[in-house]
Amino acid sequence: MARYYANRPQRLEYRKRRYGIMSLRIRQLLYNAKLRAATLGVPFSISMEDLGDISQCAATGLPFDISLGIHEGNMFGPSIDRIVPSVGYVPGNVRVVIHAYNTAKGAGTDEGVLRMAKALLARHAP
């Protein structure tokens, strides 16, 4: 993908402009979450205000990278996490996290992700 953009700098600038505005990115996430909620049959009643502080990941504290989308391999882009998946997209049950964290958590819990992270650190520590 990097080679593609190296030959097309104007395309990279367009993508940065398109995806580089956090409020637009969050609005798209909300739209996608609404579609997922309908597909999954879970409630959806959240708005931008219900997401709280969207300047950094609510679980890790890492800053979001909104220069590219998740389909370009950007695992630090924002993603809406349902804290308890069965409850749905309702106020108090959602937060904005990095995509990698949301993928790792899946239908699990924060404790499960923490257990995995500790195991990774233990295995790869010098």
Torsion angle defined by CA atoms of residues 15, 21, 99 and 55, in that order, rounded to the nearest 10 degrees: 150
Q: What pLDDT, in 10s, does the model give residues 54-99?
A: 889 999 999 998 877 777 778 999 999 999 999 999 999 999 999 9
Eight-class DSSP state of 63: B
Domains of the chain: 2-124 (3.30.40)
Distance between CA atoms of 32 and 9, rounded to whole angstroms?
A: 29
Percent of the chain with pLDDT over 70: 84
Distance between CA atoms of 11 and 18, rounded to whole angstroms?
A: 10
The residue behind tokens 């069965």 is: 86
Q: Both tokens of residue 47?
A: 């708005």
